[in-house]
Structure 1
Amino acid sequence: MQQNKTINWKSLFSFHSIVYSLLGVLSAMVALEGFMLPNHFLDGGVTGISILVEEILQVPFTYLLVIFNLPFLYLGYKKIGKTFALRALISILMLTVLMHFVEIPAVTEDKVLIAVFGGFLIGLGIGLVIKAGGVLDGIEIMALHTTKRSAFSTAEIILTFNALIFIGAAFVFDIETAMYSFLVYFTAAKTTDYVIDGFEAFTALTIISSECEKVKSLIVNDFGKAITVYKGERGYLPGTYNVKHDCDIVMTIVTRLEIHRIKEATINIDPKAFFFVQRIKEVKGGIGKQTAKDPFEDHVHANLQESNVQSGE
């Protein structure tokens, strides 16, 4: 791949990349020093492994974070590119250096607050660094590579790996700490998704209706959305297999805030309209609202989004 051969210095030191990386590192540092490390709470991935090994071997967490990430950074260098690997290495080194020289006292001893706010801040940090085109935790690079060599999805690989970490936490610390650590991981994962995808994650809404002309007019003229129309057939129902009709299959790109309103308006036109909804990662081109993403994000953010299928009567 061409991106493996040279380092894109302009992208590496762009204002966008520097700001997101710095904010992400600061957020992760506050999460680790102010919430997680003083209370032995874990996140998943390399961060969780580093906290476990620190407790067992009494080796400083910052050293372990760098050492355990190096194999994954090398894998990222080989599979994704030099720019990505260097950006990720800089982010990890920034985090370890700041944690070494800046001391943040524990914010609270309340376990629920630690799990929620620690998870939120570490997820925010990871998400911001990913938006900058790097990573703070190399486990997702490994999952991306392993997916191509196994029958398991990326999400299944990451979940299995993290489950082993939390089982280890139950033995090294106690079951309660492992359970709270899972809450940290869940909060962090959701926060990372929102930071990367945005609160207005784009969705493909597909509608099949006998009143397709009215539905097309509704979406375009009333909601101001562009549509794509596929030619198809509807029918083929149990008991009436031979009954079929030509129809237009209408697809439009909407945000999660628009789905419910469009569905309700469509049902008022055709109560038997059929819907299915699919989350999509990115929208570019056309007249729709665009989302700006770094080309490396799809490589390092390997949390697969499953399609959510909904149907009318």
Structure 2
Amino acid sequence: MIKKTTVRKKIKFVIKRWAKKHGFLRVLKSISREKYAEKISASLIYALLSSIAVNCFFQPGNIYASGLTGLSQILSTLSERVLGFGLSIAVIYYLMNIPLFILAWKYIGHKFTIFTFITVTIGSLFIELIPVVTITQDPIINAVFGGLIMGLGVGYNLRNNVSGGGTDIISLYVRKKTGHEVGSITMAINVVIMIFAGLLFGWKYVLYSMLSIFVSGRVTDAVFTKQKKMQALIITSHADKVIGMVHKKLHRGVTCINNAEGTYNREQKSVLLTVITRAEFAEFKYWMKKTDPAAFVSVAEDVRIIGRFVDDDH
């Protein structure tokens, strides 16, 4: 008879070998403690807000969210009507994300996948643990407040460059492979959600769900717009170090103006110009402090770009 300790050792060995082979441990070591704290706090806030939106507004009001959350609601409702018992929304949502984790790890990025996995895991747990509470039976109030709270969670998540999984992964994969924006994919999923909302609850709930998705989208844009461009002007005495950081960490180009002179103490400086997305700002700020804490940095928001700019923040 094989001892339990021997089995545990073999399992640990297999997991360790898999992690080493796929670079999992190397990726974890490359992420700073500050990044962990920042992104996990964003994941927790997103998980709390999204679970409140789903369990306190969407479910009591028969309102469907957008993306995979909405599809999970549909499958849960169908299972209740066909099987006689409702499958957990959290479990369905998590299972649908598992193949997407594999896709993201292979084609999008390891760090992105790790934090997406953490976010989806915490979010699923919160949806499962927070009880369904009926605050109001008014579908319009449920649609507006559910969309508002969900939009706040998604916007805060994106602001910290963290993904909630689902259609985000599909969109990034297609964009990486084709170079095209893929809003049509999200739109197609939402159309399916609307059709099922109409068939299951009546077509008036299609309007309520559309209202919720609209409010959620507007609030997300108000909190954070992923495609917003920012121009950073950097005055530094260590131009090579800063340029190397921007190239290596952010994969952005830099325009350098040498032999600039500060009028206060007549020191020779370099002026660097680079354009980043709003999603990259937190990372840019973090690495600037690490690379040259004495640099003067001025950031202009929502700049317009004419010419080639690769909008890929992952």
Over 3 Å counting, the alpha-carbon distance change for 1:60 and 1:144 in structure 2 is: same
Q: Which ranges in structure 1 are unaligned for 5 or more consecutive residues?
A: 205-279, 292-296, 301-313
Which letter maps to 2:163? V
1:44 alignment partner, one of 66, 70, 76:
66
- What corresponds to 2:49 in structure 1? 27
Distance 1:110 1:96 in 2: 26
* Alpha-carbon RMSD: 3.4
> How high is the TM-score relative to the length of structure 2?
0.60
Cα distance in 1, alignment partners of residues 221 and 54 from structure 2? 19
Shift of 1:138: 1.4
TM-score, normalised to structure 1's length? 0.60
8 Å Cα contact 2:88/2:128 also seen in 1: no
Aligned to 1:185: 213
1:1-313, aligned counterparts within 5 Å? 6-7=27-28, 8-10=30-32, 14-57=36-79, 58-147=86-175, 153-197=181-225, 281-282=277-278, 288-289=298-299, 298-299=312-313
- The letter for the 2-side match of 1:145 is Y
Paired amino acid for 1:56:
L
The answer as to whether partners of 1:28 and 1:122 remain within 8 angstroms in 2 is yes
Contact 2:63 2:143 in 1 (8 A): yes
d(CA) in 2 for partners of 1:184 and 1:11?
36
Q: How many residues align?
A: 220
| Structure 2 unaligned regions, length at least 5 | 1-21, 80-85, 232-275, 289-295, 302-310
Hey, which of these two has a bigger chunk of helix by percent?
2
CA contact (8 A) 2:230 2:300 kept: no
Going from structure 1 to structure 2, the CA distance change for 1:15 and 1:147 (only over 3 Å counts) comes to: closer
Distance 1:119 1:172, change over 3 A: same
Partners of 2:119 and 2:163 within 8 A in 1: yes
The answer for the alignment partner of 1:241 in structure 2 is none
- Cα distance in structure 2, aligned partners of 1:82 and 1:165: 31
Q: Where in structure 1 do 4 or more consecutive aligned residues deviate above 3 Å?
A: 2-5, 147-153, 201-204, 280-288, 297-300
- 1:207-241 deviation line (CA, Å, top 9, x unaligned): xxxxxxxxxxxxxxxxxxxxxxxxxxxxxxxxxxx
Looking at structure 2, the residues matched to 161 and 50 of structure 1 have their Cα atoms a distance apart, in angstroms, of: 12
Change (3 A) 1:98 1:12: farther
SS at match of 1:289: strand
Q: Deviations over 1:72-126 (max 9, x none)?
A: 2222212222221121111111122223223252222222211111001111112
